[in-house]
Amino acid sequence: MTIVKKWCYWLNFNLITKDNFNLLLVTSFAFSTLIGILNHAMWRDEINGWLIARDSVSLENFFHNIKYEGHPALWYICLLVLNKLSPNPIIMQIFHWLIAIGCLTLFVFYSPFTKQQKLLFSLGYLPFYEYTLISRNYSLGLIAIFCFCTYFETRHKNYIYLALILAFMANTNAYCLMISISLALTLVCDYFTQDDFQYKVKPGIRNIIIAFIIFGIGVILAGIMLLPPPDSTLQGGGSQWFFEFDWIRFCQSLTRIWRSYILVLIPSDSNPLDLTIFTVLSLGLLWFVSAILIKKPIVLFFYLVSSLEILIFTYLKFLGSQRHYGHLYIILISTLWIESYYCNSELLLNLFRYLPQKFYKLSLNLLKFVTYYKNNFLIIILCFQLIAGVIAFSRDLLIPYSASRTTANFIQKNNLESMTIVGSEDFTIAPISGYLNRKIFYPESQKLGSYVLFNKQRRNIDDKEMLINIVQLIKNGGNKKNIILILNRQLQIKRSDLEIMLLAKFEKAFIYNEKYYLYSIRQIDKTTDKAR
Lowest pLDDT segment from 8-12, 84-88, 117-121: 8-12
- Confidence class for position 532, pLDDT limits 50, 70, 90: very low
Contact between residue 512 and residue 495 where contact means Cβ atoms under 8 Å apart: no
Determine the pLDDT at residue 371.
Answer: 86
424 backbone dihedrals φ, ψ, rounded to 5°: -150, 135
Contact between residue 83 and residue 53 where contact means Cβ atoms under 8 Å apart: yes
Q: Could you tell me how many residues make up the chain?
A: 532
Residue 149 has pLDDT above 90, yes or no: yes
Determine the pLDDT at residue 523.
Answer: 87
Residue 37 has pLDDT above 50, yes or no: yes
Note the pLDDT tens digit of each residue in 334-379.
999 999 999 888 888 887 777 787 777 877 788 888 888 999 999 9
Average pLDDT for 217-227: 96
Lowest pLDDT segment from 113-117, 190-194, 244-248: 190-194
Mean of all residue pLDDT scores within the chain: 91
Note the pLDDT tens digit of each residue in 399-430.
999 999 999 999 999 999 889 999 999 999 99
Average pLDDT for 223-249: 90
3-state SS class at 502: strand
Say how far residue 61 (Cα) sits from the centre of its chain. Answer: 25
Determine the pLDDT at residue 198.
Answer: 62
Over the range 232-260, which residues count as b (16 or more CB within 10 Å of their CB) and which as e? bbbeebeeeeeeeeeeebebbbbbbbbbb
**Structure pTM?**
0.93
- Residue 522 forms beta bridges with which residues? 499
Residue 111 has pLDDT above 50, yes or no: yes
- Confidence class for position 384, pLDDT limits 50, 70, 90: very high
Q: What is the CA radius of gyration of the chain?
A: 26
Determine the pLDDT at residue 2.
Answer: 53
Complete DSSP assignment for 397-458: HHS-S-SHHHHHHHHHHTT-TTS-EEEESHHHHHHHHHHHTS-EEETTTTEEESS---BTT-
Composition of the chain by helix, strand, coil, percent to 5? 60, 5, 30
Q: Which residue has the higher pLDDT, 1 or 65?
A: 65
- Confidence class for position 216, pLDDT limits 50, 70, 90: very high
Average pLDDT for 175-204: 86
Contacting residues for 306 by C-beta, under 8 A, at least 6 apart: 178, 179, 182, 183, 331
Average pLDDT for 423-446: 95
Cβ neighbours around 456 below 10 Å, total:
11
129 backbone dihedrals φ, ψ, rounded to 5°: -125, -75
